[in-house]
A and B are shown apart, each in its own frame.
Chain A
Amino acid sequence: MPDNIVEKIWQQHLIKQQNGFPDILGIDFALLHEVTSAQAFDMLDDKNLGVYDSSKFLATIDHSIPTRTNRHEIHDPTAKAQIELLRKNCAKHNIPICDLDSTRQGIVHVVGPEMGVTQPGMTLVCGDSHTATHGAFGALAFGIGTSTLAHVFATGAILMNQPKVMQVAFTGELPNGTYAKDMIMHLIAEIGIGGATQHVIEYTGAAVRALSMEQRMTLCNMSIECGAIAGLIAPDQTTFDYIKDRPYAPQGPLFAQAVEYWQSLCSEPDCSYDSTIELNIAELKPMISWGTNPQQAIQSHQKTPDEHNAAMDYVKLNTNQKLIGTPIQWAFIGSCTNGRIEDLRIVADILRDRKIATAVTMYVVPGSEQVMLQAKAEGLDQIFETAGAEFRLPGCSMCLGMNDDKVPAGARCISTTNRNFIGRQGTGSITHLASPATVAYSALAGFICTEFIQHEAS
């Protein structure tokens, strides 16, 4: 049977296969951040082990930091200690770190691709569940826990059983006004948050091929939200063009050699999948989540379910209710899902020469220093500020409520992030997940909407 892309990558990285034991799988690269690495370094010390090859690791600081201008002043003493410990551990083990103000710092899943670290066919891990983002390049990239990170530090390999592979084939053309965010939220709503457990997803179809690299990253990023181990897209010219000339990319004649190899990374015709799902997106409308997990989401013209669900009590919504028109107090643009330059351009195009509603606080947080610098070079920061939004410094910010940026209890936020779990953006906060365009339109109107509606104040 001809191989699919996941089987190809697995075979190339399989070091040992033995009955009754998990496979030993070689790992090409690991990214790390401050939250899930400290205990892994401790585990090394505990066993008197070193890092097997420090050039196969890259660290950044993203989760615990403030995004205000004086971000070096970290008020939370444990967050401060955590960040300082990452610096100390990286120095000790000679691991490069994209530190604050290095022009390279940012959210780990924005930084990796930006640096050219993420390349087709590689195995890449990070102590972070949104590592599937890197699958956009045809890499097998997945989140691991801290103990597994210690295994990678010590050996450059992990123990894992070969995953099943699910093909998600998008048919039809993505309609104007909808984005990769809507595609992935649609999939999650269809198959559920456990729908792809134990599987790696390969996204296929002309609509996927038509996506830019940044949109592909958004698509793969939320694979974990339907339970998938990873999600990936076979590489093509769009992929190669993005990687070329980035700091970690192969330089000179090596690049052509690399491309030749990367082109072999596709699922063969007549290969088999453990399951296949076909989703027609020709009529897709913008997606908005209503509940307390990413599966609880509907298209803009749809209503909340007929049947009462406990999540409705938390989010203060009723059965059979439209989301359009629901007042919001917060709007957030950013995160590893939607904090890249193309996302910021979409938002700027909508906010240009307009003002957000007075009742709304809006944060625009670039995914990295590179994204921030590019946005400033294009004058996007001015558009955001003029519209009444705050353009802040790079980091995970309001995505997960573990730094200063939190949605207050009882407040409703429309957000480009990836999870609407109870209290995710701050204790008692209510989250509606959506695309950057939907967040921008909603911020202007002061209530959830997916097109430009003039609000009363203007």
Chain B
Amino acid sequence: MYKKIAKHNIQGLCAPMMIDDIDTDIIIPAQHLTQTSQSGFGQHAFARLKKANTDFVLNQKRYQAAKILIAGDNFGCGSSREHAVWAIQELGFEAIIAPSFADIFSNNAKKNGLVLIELSTDTCQQMAQFAEAENLYLSIDLATANVTSKHFNHAFNINPFFQYCITHGSNEVDYLLQHMGQIKAHKTAAVNHSLFIQNGASQ
């Protein structure tokens, strides 16, 4: 459902998952994608990693209340399933910090208000080490685009439109709907691809 809650900052415990190329099949295996609602995916999130290793970060009690995930490079690669974002949010995560994210995952995250922050590999590794050695609580300020704690202080790049949407509780589709007139006009005036699309349904 469309989320309409304005958010200005995220403060919370960090969970370290420094594995590169976490794919969407790992986040939520396809066998759980037959559900047609947006909930019920969290219980299956990372199921294969949880099962393979009892010490896996999400099996540890100390991280159960974590709100921020510190992850490896190219997080969310693979399929377009938005269920991956829903599953992670259902686990209680509001932000992920990683060196890079896959494109479709990143788009899906924006539309659901899951904050993705790109920081250097070194910084992510330091944060992960800290989160493992002792409890790391980070504070993410979305208006100034800063991540801070007692030991860390990093500015990050934030897409200005996403920043506007999340801090105002506004949704991308509203912006599109405001431009319906222009969209319709373009579809009749521009190179008309519909001209070339015959209705093949009857054939």
Contact = CB atoms under 8 A, between A and B. Distances in A.
Contact of A427 (B29, B77, B103, B199): B29
A227 B179 contact: no
B104 A293 contact: no
A201 to B, nearest CB: 13
A155 B180 contact: yes
Contacts of B180: 155
A257 B198 CA distance: 14
Contact of A157 (B1, B35, B176): B176
Contact of B198 (A39, A250, A419): A250
Interface string A250-273: 110010011001000000000000
B36 A82 contact: yes
Interface in B145-162: 159-161
B48 A247 contact: no
Interface residues of B, number: 59
B74 interface: yes
Contact of B176 (A24, A129, A144): A24
Which of B36, B108, B179 is most buried by chain A, counting CB atoms within 10 A of its CB?
A: B36
Given A79-B34, A401-B29, A16 B179 contact: yes
A159 B102 contact: no
B77 A402 contact: no
Contact of A119 (B100, B196, B201): B196
Nearest to B173: A151
Contact of A76 (B29, B34, B161, B176): B34
A36 B37 CA distance: 10
A412 B201 CA distance: 41
A38 B2 CA distance: 14
B111 interface: yes
A254 B196 contact: yes
Interface residues on A, range: 35 or more
A60 interface: no
A283 interface: no
Contacts of B100: 194, 197
A43 B3 CA distance: 11
A155 B177 contact: yes
Contacts of A38: 36
A198 B198 CA distance: 33
A15 B186 contact: yes
Interface string A405-447: 0000000000000010111100100000000000000000000
B23 interface: yes
Contacts of B73: 194
B194 interface: yes
Identify the 8 closest CB pairs spanning chains A and B, nearest first. A247-B200, A402-B30, A145-B108, A38-B36, A147-B111, A248-B200, A145-B82, A143-B80
Given A143-B79, A145-B80, 19 more contacts: A15-B186, A26-B187, A43-B1, A43-B173, A55-B194, A55-B201, A79-B34, A119-B197, A127-B82, A128-B80, A147-B111, A151-B176, A154-B176, A193-B21, A194-B73, A248-B198, A248-B200, A250-B198, A423-B25
5 contacts: A28-B194, A117-B200, A145-B80, A159-B172, A246-B200
